């Protein structure tokens, strides 16, 4: 199981949102670069970064900060937020990003997603941000009538490298992830041609992490993203790092 500590960047600072609401954000003292270094020093090998400014502007904004984070040795980064073009993808890969997370454009332009997966093999992940079963777009501000399971069927054969499945209603709440819904989503993929799913939203205690680990016997569950629980000191880093798969 991979554990991805999260860094959300807004106005050059680390923040956490409550249920994706930009008006309910908590700002933290450490800069994104310092926070990434701390995660690396603690032993994490993967990190999840969202450029919130980019998501709002539909264009990556914090590329310089991300480039500095990518210079940290032995730290793999997956980046999302405002990525809308092949040029955006190329620039991020060129600075050392391991996985590019496509959100809105992956839903609104599946042909673009297909072409990106072909051109950047094993580099494209998809963020499926769900509210009550239906996908939300554009920094979670636009609610669609696209059911997550219906969308999954459309992209299952496009060679997407991973899916980050976020339950928006739980994100930042520390109330436990939507494990049943996420596992059902992952298991809906039949056969060997599946996209690994990363759990996101609502992780509050080490027990939540252990619960996800128990699901990770199934290769369709790859790991989980942890944000606010780390920043509030609720997570013992030594236990988390021991649970992490460094492959």
3-state secondary structure the chain: CEEEEEEEEECCEEEEEECCEEEEEEECCCCHHHHHHHHHHHCCCEEEEEEHHHHHHCCCCCHHHHHHHHCCCCCEEEEECCCCCHHHHHHHHHCCCCEEEECHHHHHCHHHHHHHHHHCCCCEEEEEEEECCEEEECCCCEEEEEEHHHHHHHHCCCCCCEEEEEECCCCCCCCCCCHHHHHHHHHCCCCCCCCCEEEECCCCCHHHHHHHHHHCCCCCEEEEEECHHHHCCCCCHHHHHHHCCCC
Segment 168-193 mean pLDDT: 91
Q: Which of 51, 53, 129, 208 is catalytic?
A: 129
- pLDDT tens column, 3-46: 999 999 998 899 988 877 777 878 898 999 999 999 999 999 99
Q: Give percent above pLDDT 90 in the chain.
A: 77
- Active-site residue, selected from the candidate residues 8, 98, 167, 171: 8
pTM above threshold 0.95: no
Q: What is the pLDDT of residue 148?
A: 98
Domains contained in the chain, CATH given: 2-243 (3.20.20.70)
Residue-wise pLDDT for 103-157, tens only, equals: 999 999 999 999 999 999 999 999 999 999 999 998 788 999 999 999 999 999 9
Query: Is 129 marked active-site?
Result: yes
Is 8 a known active-site residue?
Answer: yes
């Amino acid at each position: 199981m991979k554990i991805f500590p999260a860094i959300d960047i807004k106005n050059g600072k680390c923040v956490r949102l409550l249920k994706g609401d930009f008006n309910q954000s908590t700002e933290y003292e450490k800069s994104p670069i310092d926070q990434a270094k701390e995660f690396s020093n603690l032993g994490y090998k993967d990190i999840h970064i969202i450029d919130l400014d980019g998501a709002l502007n539909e264009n990556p904004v914090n590329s310089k900060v991300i480039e500095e984070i990518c210079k940290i040795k032995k730290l793999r980064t997956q980046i999302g937020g405002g990525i809308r073009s092949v040029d955006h993808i190329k620039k991020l890969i060129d600075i050392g990003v391991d996985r590019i997370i496509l959100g809105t454009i992956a839903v609104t332009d599946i042909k673009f997603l297909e072409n990106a997966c072909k051109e950047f093999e094993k580099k494209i992940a998809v963020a499926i941000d769900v509210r009550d079963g239906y996908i939300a777009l554009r920094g979670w501000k636009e609610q669609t009538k696209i059911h997550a399971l219906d969308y999954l069927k459309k992209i299952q054969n496009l060679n997407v490298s991973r899916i980050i499945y976020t339950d928006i209603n739980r994100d930042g709440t520390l109330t436990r992830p939507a494990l049943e819904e996420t596992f059902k989503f992952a298991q809906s993929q039949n056969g060997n041609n599946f996209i690994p799913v990363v759990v996101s939203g609502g992780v509050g205690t080490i027990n939540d992490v252990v619960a996800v680990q128990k699901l990770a016997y199934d290769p369709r569950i790859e790991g989980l993203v942890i944000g606010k629980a780390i920043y509030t000191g609720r997570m013992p880093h030594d236990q988390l790092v021991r649970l992490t798969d460094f492959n």
